[in-house]
Structure 1
């Protein structure tokens, strides 16, 4: 685990140097067919660590996908540093990365190295810069010994680290995590939690694991497609836990 502690210290030390993102949702609603999933959501997100919690079907995963244009609102507007997700999605996704709950949804190439190189290659980076970034991610997340390993044969925890590295290698300013620990055992849940804590990037984390939100700046609670609580975790998490009991 010593590699993990070194990487965490290095990324935490450089946190202050990364540009910050501002995400604004204005009167956002979203429907699947005739069914409302989100209603009347207006928020400005600038904090470094934001948690999103709520029951199944509360709208939190749809909300997460709105933040980088994977989903565009049925009505209303989502802006990332002034860029409209509806019309400037490519530029938005350069700034806001997304980590899915199931890493197999993100792993698209046969080997670990090829999968990490996919994003920078699509960004048009020179081969030398792509190779440098890939090498950095392999070392940072303990995957250097698996460089040529079939990506889909990694363990569950290694796959999630590869999925996170595959986003980080493109150097976004904010990362949205949609329930990144749901499929993991306790040891790997803690490992991913440490990775998120150490990120220099801003992060929005959708989760059912409330312990992940310790030390966060802000937590949003969703219910029936609306934000029903918004504040520091010391207030919102106990409120939500009591509501669910």
Structure 2
């Protein structure tokens, strides 16, 4: 799946994301070197040890980091003012949430529509009510649990109209009911979704999973197969340590 951009049988993605020969250096650490990926599938899992490069890949895709060399292809903002193609949910919701109430935070995701504050908040209230969450609109962020704050970040992605959603460890702060709810919402969302996670059961059924190992693609294929390879590798390393 790491197709060559120059291959005559592999067209450049028109509505997907891709990286060609991307090198990313952070301080003295070489995070990626000549990384090539094309990301077409609707559901993609991203797995690997801490420090493998998962969050760095997300930061490249949403423009928070720029490579020292190579090219990151992401469809541009449409001329009609629609939302940016990519939206990202951070691992720590406190690094993402800005405003003091839920409705203000979700209204921020509508800024590309250039509505007034009142128009945006009215839309948020209607949208939340349609999802059975009308009572969430006026709630103070400080009154929410960590899992509920994570859910607010997920709602902000959905209401924002992005075409691709990057979820960085979205299950880490959720209890079992919260994990089940998010997994269900991911399964029915129309957007392309890429999930970085250590909880392999949430991506094992995906059509594609990428295993990153020290900034390199160690395996790339069907979710069940790649997850099994990663689990076997972890088990072997644990045996060597013991």
Shared fold (TM-score, shorter chain, > 0.5): yes
| Number of the residue aligned with 1:117 | 107
| Number of the residue aligned with 2:70 | 76
Q: Secondary structure at the match of 2:88?
A: strand
| Number of the residue aligned with 2:214 | 224
| Number of the residue aligned with 2:203 | 213
Please say if 1:52 is aligned against 2:41. Answer: no
Out of 87, 94, 99, which is 1:97 matched to? 87
TM-score (structure 2 length as normaliser): 0.83
Which segment is superposed worse, 46-55 or 138-147?
138-147
| Number of the residue aligned with 1:145 | 135
Once residues 137 and 98 of structure 1 are traced to their aligned partners in structure 2, the CA distance between those partners, rounded to angstroms, is 20
Unpaired segments ≥5 residues, structure 1 = 1-19
CA contact (8 A) 1:21 1:202 kept: no
| Number of the residue aligned with 1:11 | none
| Number of the residue aligned with 2:31 | 37
Out of 146, 163, 171, which is 2:161 matched to? 171
**Displacement, 1:27?**
0.4
Alpha-carbon RMSD: 2.4
The change in CA–CA distance for 1:235 and 1:184 in structure 2 (over 3 A counts) is: same
**Displacement, 1:132?**
5.7
Aligned residues: 220
| Number of the residue aligned with 1:63 | 57
| Number of the residue aligned with 1:10 | none
Q: Secondary structure at the match of 1:40?
A: strand
Runs of 4+ aligned residues of structure 1 deviating over 6 Å after TM superposition are none
**Displacement, 1:130?**
2.8
Unpaired segments ≥5 residues, structure 2 = 1-13, 236-242
Which structure's CA Rg is the greater one?
Answer: 2
Q: Larger RCO: Structure 1 or Structure 2 (Cα < 8 Å, ≥ 6 residues apart)? A: 1
User: Which structure is higher in helix share?
Assistant: 1
